[in-house]
């Protein structure tokens, strides 16, 4: 149970950081930001495992960097596929 909560927290943090790093405004809701952050973290973990840096001694800086890069890519993709007229309609 705690691991599921931790995954959502990490997804929220990575998704929000990714939105801050991307230029312009991303008109995606918070649930999609969290979901994209979670998917980006999974992609970063997979890539870190593939290159052999997932489990290291100390802080896994390379793994965390790969997770952030994955979150930026997935948030950018999610932002481009999310219908912009729907985002405008929900503000009314």
**Secondary-structure percent of the chain, ordered helix, strand, coil, rounded to 5:** 75, 0, 25
Please, are residues 21 and 70 in contact by the beta-carbon 8 Å criterion? Answer: no
The per-residue pLDDT for 91 is 57
What are the pLDDT digits (tens) for 49-81? 999 887 778 888 899 999 999 999 999 999 988
């Amino acid at each position: 149970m705690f691991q599921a909560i931790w995954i959502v927290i990490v997804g929220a943090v990575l998704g929000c950081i990714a939105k801050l790093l991307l230029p312009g405004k991303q008109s995606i809701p918070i649930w999609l930001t969290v979901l994209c952050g979670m998917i980006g973290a999974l992609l970063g973990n997979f890539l870190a495992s593939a290159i052999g840096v997932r489990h290291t001694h100390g802080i896994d800086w390379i793994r965390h960097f790969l997770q952030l890069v994955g979150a930026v890519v997935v948030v950018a993709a999610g932002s481009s596929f999310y219908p912009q007229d729907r985002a405008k309609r929900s503000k009314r």
